[in-house]
């Protein structure tokens, strides 16, 4: 059997963060990044087709990919993100093509600009894994949701995006290399074209599910959607694996 390690560990400055990669990230998403488009589409698949009359809070909205999509379904859409450059990109898109989305700077772990029991749906696409304190984030989400409110989120699939994972080629086929699944906490990938050069927080599936349950949420969707054709074509090492974990949960207590 022949193994070839993929070149994933090129040196890049280790002080990258969301501010420093914001322009690059906005361009990536707006160029139609297959992974981000797929994350958006699977998240939208567990939201009502019509959100007219609903207030949707999009946490870690970035340049507004999800916020625009829920606004297009009729929601009163508010996107929050601590990264000022990304909020500026989102606001610029709203000015260029108004859809009624509102954006402001806020931290997902406190949501200090959002009132209690004011939100029908929280969306969080690939952002909970960027928040250092998941417990505070879920507590804040519970605070801002109305009694019948729900959260829907995606995170990079924890099994296949753990620290020190990677890709290898075995007998000519690209395969995903499992990393240190139990190593919860901050990690970054020193790869110039990876979003994860800004760093993010790895957590096990059990941590996500238990944190939700500890705050009185009941899961009604737990899914591992298979990659679509565009993801398979651009990320051959992900063929046969779910790129993201998709969760929907409702407030119960």
Ligand X SMILES: C[S@@+](CC[C@H](N)C(=O)[O-])C[C@H]1O[C@@H](n2cnc3c(N)ncnc32)[C@H](O)[C@@H]1O
**Would you state the structure tokens that stand for residue 127, as one six-digit string?**
């952002």
The DSSP result for 25-80, as a single string, is: HHHHHHTT-HHHHHHHHHHHTTS-S--TT-EEEEET-TTTHHHHHHHHTT-EEEEE
Closest CB 131 distance from ligand X, rounded Å: 4
Residues 6+ apart with CB under 8 A from 40: 65, 66, 69, 125
Residue from the set 47, 141, 195, 231 that interacts with ligand X by CB under 6 A: 195
Closest CB 200 distance from ligand X, rounded Å: 8
Candidates 3-11, 76-84, 182-190, 216-224; binding stretch for ligand X (CB under 6 A)? 76-84
Counting every residue written for the chain, the total comes to 253
SS3 for 139? helix
Closer residue to ligand X in complex, CB, 18/208: 18
Residue from the set 16, 21, 36, 163 that interacts with ligand X by CB under 6 A: 36
Closer residue to ligand X in complex, CB, 82/166: 82
Closer residue to ligand X in complex, CB, 86/175: 86
Residues 103-122 binding ligand X (CB under 6 A) are 107-109
Q: Are 216 and 201 in contact (CB under 8 A)?
A: no
Distance CA 246, CA 225 (A): 8
Site residues for ligand X per CB under 6 A: 18, 29, 36, 39, 59-62, 65-66, 81-83, 86, 107-109, 125-127, 130-131, 195
């Amino acid at each position: 059997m022949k193994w070839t390690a993929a070149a994933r560990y090129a040196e890049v400055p280790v002080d990258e963060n969301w501010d420093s990669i914001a322009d690059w990230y906005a361009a990536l998403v707006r160029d139609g990044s297959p992974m981000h488009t797929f994350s958006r589409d699977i998240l939208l698949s567990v939201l009502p087709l019509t959100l007219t009359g609903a207030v949707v809070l999009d946490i870690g909205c970035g340049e507004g990919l999800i916020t625009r999509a829920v606004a297009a379904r009729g929601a009163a859409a508010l996107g929050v993100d601590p990264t000022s450059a990304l909020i500026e990109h989102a606001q610029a898109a709203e000015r260029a093509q108004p859809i009624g989305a509102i954006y402001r700077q806020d931290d997902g772990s406190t949501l200090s600009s959002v009132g209690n029991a004011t939100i029908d749906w929280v969306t969080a696409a690939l952002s909970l894994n960027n928040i250092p304190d998941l417990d505070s984030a879920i507590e804040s989400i519970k605070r801002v949701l109305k009694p019948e409110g729900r959260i829907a989120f995606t995170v990079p699939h924890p099994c296949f995006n753990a620290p020190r994972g990677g890709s290898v080629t075995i007998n000519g086929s690209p395969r995903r290399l499992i990393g240190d699944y139990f190593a919860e906490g901050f990690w970054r990938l020193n790869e110039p074209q990876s979003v994860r050069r800004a760093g993010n927080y790895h957590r096990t599936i059990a941590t996500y599910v238990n944190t939700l349950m500890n705050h009185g949420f009941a899961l009604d969707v737990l899914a591992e959607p298979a990659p679509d054709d565009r993801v398979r074509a651009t990320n051959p090492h992900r063929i046969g694996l779910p790129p993201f974990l998709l969760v929907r949960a409702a407030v119960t207590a």
